[in-house]
Amino acid sequence: RPLGLGARGWDNQLWRLGEDLAVRLPWATESADALLLKEHAWLPSLAPRLPLPLPVPQRLGEPTERFPRPWIVTTWVPGTPADRAPATRAADAAGAL
């Protein structure tokens, strides 16, 4: 499966990498870099403890001349992004968290 744009948000672009992975590239705000590094540090230990699937970091990409910001490879979580789905189960989601 070729690399393809999975989603584009406020701070990041998410590219689908094969069937099971995604590449997340910060592109808008500088704060996205710090958030990405925090997620890389914390999500691997949080993911098994939560009742919902999370993108689990697999690799951290270092800044280079071609892309001067950190980036991350994560597992792909199928489904609809929360900001695009109706909030019909918001209370359930909040209770689970």
Domains and CATH numbers, the chain: 4-96 (3.30.200.20)
Adjacent-strand bridge partners of 71: 61
- Euclidean distance between CA atoms 21 and 57, whole angstroms: 9
**pLDDT tens track, the chain, 97 positions:** 667 777 777 788 889 999 999 999 998 777 889 999 999 999 999 999 998 889 999 999 999 999 999 999 999 998 877 677 777 777 877 887 7
pLDDT of residue 2: 67
Say what the pLDDT of residue 23 is: 94
pLDDT for residue 1: 64
Strands 21-26 and 12-17: antiparallel
Cβ atoms < 10 Å from Cβ of 22: 20
Q: What is the dihedral of CA 84, 96, 90, 77, to 10 degrees?
A: 10
